[in-house]
Amino acid sequence: MDSDLAESVAALKDIFTRRGIPATFGKSDPAVIEELRKTLRIPSRYRAFLLEADPVDVETATPVERVRLIPASKLAAEQVGVTNGEAAAPPGWRKSWVLIGRSALLGDPYFLDISKLDAEGDCPVFTCMQGTESLKPELCASSFQQFLRILATAMEVATGFRENDVDDEDEAIFREALAPKIKTLDSAALRAGHWT
């Protein structure tokens, strides 16, 4: 795992510990990861993440979103019928999209776009609303490493907010507090507007 990725993973693990939210990270079997590399063409940085910090049971918690990351053992199965157990992927779903997580609130997918691989073996993370006539991908982070950092930062900003029964004012205050932090981490993600 390179230093940027290791730093993002450490930040994510740390905020789970500080907030007292259970999260289980493990280490994936290299043979499983090699199979995923062949079948899903997952990029090297994401493979390194799964090998060292497989999200066995990891769900972030903020006033506006809960992101459940998919463990390596379930990645292949999750790709089949990307939306809620349907037999086929929704219209407009691309072969270059690899589902890596879901909104635990709405079920919307979080996915890598492996067609946009960068020099570091990473690629952007997108989401889209389910149940619409056409999929409109929305940028969440310019890279998977930045996605992990944004998740950690959002959970840090969420410290002190109520977990349940969040009203519109709390949601607006949270988003307002999160925006400058995301701007520092990933200005393209801020401009895309998913988090704010």
Rounded to the nearest 5°, which phi and psi values hold at 65?
Answer: -160, 150
- In the block, residue with structure tokens 């349940």: 164
Q: Which residue has the higher pLDDT, 130 or 39?
A: 39
- In the block, residue with structure tokens 């589902």: 99
Q: Which residue has the higher pLDDT, 39 or 168?
A: 39
Q: Kindly write down the DSSP assignment for every residue of 78-109, as one continuous string.
A: HHSSTTTT-SSPPTT--TTEEEEEEETTT--E
Q: Which of 109, 112, 115, 67 is nearest to 90 (CA)?
A: 109
CATH no. for residue 47?
Answer: 3.40.1580.10
47-77 pLDDT tens trace: 999 999 999 999 999 988 999 999 999 999 9
Question: How much is the mean pLDDT over the chain?
Answer: 90
Question: Residue 168 — very low, low, confident or very high, per pLDDT cuts 50/70/90?
Answer: confident
State which residues form the domain around 108: 3-192
Split into its structural domains, the chain has a count of 1
At residue 151, does pLDDT exceed 80?
A: yes
- What mean pLDDT is predicted for residues 18-35? 96
d(CA 180, CA 196): 10
- Decide if 122 contacts 100 (C-beta within 8 A): no
90-141 pLDDT tens trace: 667 888 999 999 999 888 999 999 999 999 999 999 999 876 667 789 999 9
- What mean pLDDT is predicted for residues 146-151? 97
At residue 169, does pLDDT exceed 70?
A: yes
CA distances in angstroms from 162 to 56, 58, 62, 168, listed in the order given: 25, 19, 9, 12
pLDDT of residue 170: 81
d(CA 173, CA 27): 37
Q: What's this model's pTM, rounded to 2 decimal places?
A: 0.92
